[in-house]
A and B are shown apart, each in its own frame.
Chain A
């Protein structure tokens, strides 16, 4: 059985009990807060809170490790790129320059640059757990209902939900096709040259795409035969009603957003500057 990444993980936890709409809104609020601020204190606070929420959700790190590693690699690349393109960004922002050592030309290492990039990393760390939690604790069928509730058209909501839901299917197909092709000698491991590997990957992608197209035809027929797209609106079997805890959590998150914004902008600067 294929490893199912980014799919719903069933648990009994307070996070799971919230409605999808609440979780979606909280996620949006949370990202807004984390995106707008560069205040290290707030980011640290949010980061610790996100870990607490993660623990409350009873999701194990192991279960999302694959995607987590993927994000970490991406983050590393991002950090390298920031440094390559703008090694003096920290100095520009904080106005001082504590040089640790020089490399070449404008490339030196300053405490300001390290601090700045630390803040960026922290931003990722605060958003990632919450984003992942939103995906793995929201039942995909409720997911569509939630998007629709906050105003996204139901066709688009359904398309997104279907795409998410086909991830495990496509993974399974991919595995079967890859194995069958390997049996014919298609080598995808690092033993093969990169140019050849890319070519070999095509021999897996083509059947995968073609069989996915077949699936799309079947499902769209099935949906049409059962009246999808007839009316401007539709109701949702698995939509859940807001309960008092949903209102409470939403209120807390809104307050938190306001709080972080006030702290961030009260001195007219998005950055917390420890160097002054």
Chain B
């Protein structure tokens, strides 16, 4: 009989800063060596569970605890955060933010240093752990020069060095591109098998986690556990649908086609999923075919753009593309491929070393940032990087006030933009009272108020759950319908597939593809180069014997969007 490692018993927790408890009467036992996934929408309390296990609650985040939480048989509130950190190792969501050491070796050694381990044995221990996560060749590299996946491996090594019993991952996939995410999951799986540690993963990208086997999935909603079952059983149920967690696309497709999904069909793995092929084909044939969008005038053209930060090393090499009026395009590629640099070149934040940029047929290569900003708006990934005013109205009005627009006109324009963005009721609210998604809207509104023709957004949905994702994206679609051209920098495959008919793929500063998003996500060569992952719908369609898998994907997405519209 396996020993329980973590036992919540009628456990409730309320943050001091909040009125209602975040966790309500929780009872949950996690056994030694188990691999458990905790899913739930934003605000469901899934991160708080993580904080309770690693001790940030109640030692750093104060609040009221009712009930009991035992970790390895001991009452958590009688321990302190340091003894807890010897049992539970936490890998936080933001790999950049959690690095303490400057080099890989130093960061891995951090907790050993705090334990006053002799330098000699420290070096040996660090090497041993680094080897486990395949980072032993990088011990003296600076952590800031690593790729996203390598960063995560270093964070993992930094907690493993303590010989913890439990590894806790807080949204490990949030900042990784699809291929790296897949690799990260495989690594977690391998380490769990080698060391037999208990693994707890908090994540809402369910399909990506299910790439490996997990023993149980715990579904949280509104501070309570709504399901605690094995993956197959969960996917066969309607629970995920009800609380708006994205089900794996292939399961969703089967459900739309009217297949009855049961536990016995093994829905947790796309390759073994015993789907009813006939029903799938019947559904496919019953839906209308996709009509491609008509061509229109180009609005933005990049012609042989090159750029270098340092002499001798071209970051962008001869990139050309053209964006049509009213298009919604995604700009994709792995970290450091040059996507952000291209967007900076378009906005005039950087000057290209050669090449020309045309807006509406006019050469704007020499225009200043300010001049371009009236045609092209840029929304940064982190809304906190843009917000400088206390009140929503003032924030949105800022660009107009600075341009000396008359007060009456400012009022009219800001109010109309706030209405478009659904922020009108909050116009006199302080920004600090808004949710992340709402803040995002404020930053979009503050760019929109200048009435640009093109809006560029950097990862608009990063870290958002499905409901907020849909909310933000539907809003962008609405803007697009009203004539704005939208360019989205992303590595979210769902976003790309569902919302942007066309995708431009950048790798090492070069354009490697400019195709429909469906084509990109089914082309093995591009997928490999740009660190993407083939969509599971493609596999499903092929297995069902559908002759036009891409068309199948298109129809699924259109259908799915219709279904989600009814959530609001």
User: A residues engaging B (CB < 8 A)?
Assistant: 1, 139-141, 162, 165, 173, 176-177, 179-187, 200, 202-204, 206-207, 210-211, 214-215, 218-231, 233-239
User: B residues engaging A (CB < 8 A)?
Assistant: 54-56, 59-60, 81-82, 85-86, 90, 92, 94, 97-103, 105-106, 109-119, 122-123, 126, 158-159, 162, 309, 344, 347-349, 369-370, 372-373, 377-378, 380, 382, 384-389, 398-399, 402-403, 446-447, 450
Closest 4 CB pairs of A and B: A218-B97, A237-B109, A222-B98, A203-B388
Which chain B residue shows the least CB distance to A224?
B81
Shortest CB distance A219–B (Å): 6
Question: Are A184 and B402 touching (Cβ within 8 A)?
Answer: yes
List, in ascending order, chain A residues with CB within 8 A of B123's CB. 237
Question: Are B373 and A185 touching (Cβ within 8 A)?
Answer: yes
Question: Are B386 and A187 touching (Cβ within 8 A)?
Answer: no
Given contacts A203-B388, A227-B85, contact A179 B97 (CB under 8 A): no
Shortest CB distance B239–A (Å): 31
List, in ascending order, chain B residues with CB within 8 A of A203's CB. 388-389, 398
List, in ascending order, chain B residues with CB within 8 A of A186's CB. 398, 402
Given contacts A141-B102, A227-B82, contact A179 B388 (CB under 8 A): no
Question: Are B98 and A219 touching (Cβ within 8 A)?
Answer: yes
Q: What is the CA–CA distance of A206 and B92 in the complex, to the nearest angstrom?
A: 26
List, in ascending order, chain B residues with CB within 8 A of A223's CB. 100, 110
Shortest CB distance A187–B (Å): 7
List, in ascending order, chain B residues with CB within 8 A of A237's CB. 101, 105-106, 109-110, 112-113, 119, 122-123, 126
Q: What is the CA–CA distance of A233 and B377 in the complex, to the nearest angstrom?
A: 52
Which chain B residue shows the least CB distance to A232?
B116
Question: Are B385 and A177 touching (Cβ within 8 A)?
Answer: yes
List, in ascending order, chain B residues with CB within 8 A of A141's CB. 101-103, 106
Given contacts A226-B110, A227-B114, contact A180 B119 (CB under 8 A): no
Shortest CB distance A74–B (Å): 29
Shortest CB distance A221–B (Å): 6
Q: What is the CA–CA distance of A4 and B9 in the complex, to the nearest angstrom?
A: 52
Q: What is the CA–CA distance of A184 and B348 in the complex, to the nearest angstrom?
A: 12
List, in ascending order, chain B residues with CB within 8 A of A226's CB. 85, 100, 110-111, 114, 158-159, 162
List, in ascending order, chain A residues with CB within 8 A of B118's CB. 235
Q: List 29 A-B contacts (CB under 8 A).
A: A179-B349, A180-B378, A180-B380, A180-B386, A183-B377, A184-B446, A185-B398, A186-B402, A187-B402, A203-B388, A203-B398, A206-B387, A207-B385, A207-B386, A210-B387, A211-B384, A218-B98, A221-B92, A225-B56, A226-B110, A226-B111, A226-B159, A227-B82, A231-B116, A234-B114, A235-B116, A237-B112, A237-B113, A237-B123
Question: Are A165 and B102 touching (Cβ within 8 A)?
Answer: yes
List, in ascending order, chain A residues with CB within 8 A of B109's CB. 237
Shortest CB distance B346–A (Å): 11
Which chain B residue shows the least CB distance to A231?
B116
List, in ascending order, chain B residues with CB within 8 A of A236's CB. 113, 119
Question: Are A227 and B111 touching (Cβ within 8 A)?
Answer: yes
Q: What is the CA–CA distance of A239 and B117 in the complex, to the nearest angstrom?
A: 13
Question: Are A221 and B378 touching (Cβ within 8 A)?
Answer: no
Question: Are A184 and B450 touching (Cβ within 8 A)?
Answer: yes
Question: Are A183 and B378 touching (Cβ within 8 A)?
Answer: yes
Q: What is the CA–CA distance of A220 and B381 in the complex, to the nearest angstrom?
A: 23
List, in ascending order, chain B residues with CB within 8 A of A140's CB. 102
Given contacts A234-B116, A237-B105, contact A225 B81 (CB under 8 A): yes
Question: Are B114 and A231 touching (Cβ within 8 A)?
Answer: yes
List, in ascending order, chain A residues with CB within 8 A of B377's CB. 183
List, in ascending order, chain B residues with CB within 8 A of A173's CB. 385
Shortest CB distance A63–B (Å): 13
Question: Are A184 and B115 touching (Cβ within 8 A)?
Answer: no
List, in ascending order, chain B residues with CB within 8 A of A184's CB. 373, 398-399, 402, 446-447, 450
Question: Are A222 and B92 touching (Cβ within 8 A)?
Answer: yes
List, in ascending order, chain A residues with CB within 8 A of B344's CB. 179
Q: What is the CA–CA distance of A238 and B86 in the complex, to the nearest angstrom?
A: 23
Question: Are B388 and A207 touching (Cβ within 8 A)?
Answer: yes
List, in ascending order, chain B residues with CB within 8 A of A206's CB. 387-388
List, in ascending order, chain A residues with CB within 8 A of B399's CB. 184-185
Given contacts A177-B385, A183-B378, contact A230 B373 (CB under 8 A): no
Shortest CB distance A50–B (Å): 27
List, in ascending order, chain A residues with CB within 8 A of B99's CB. 222
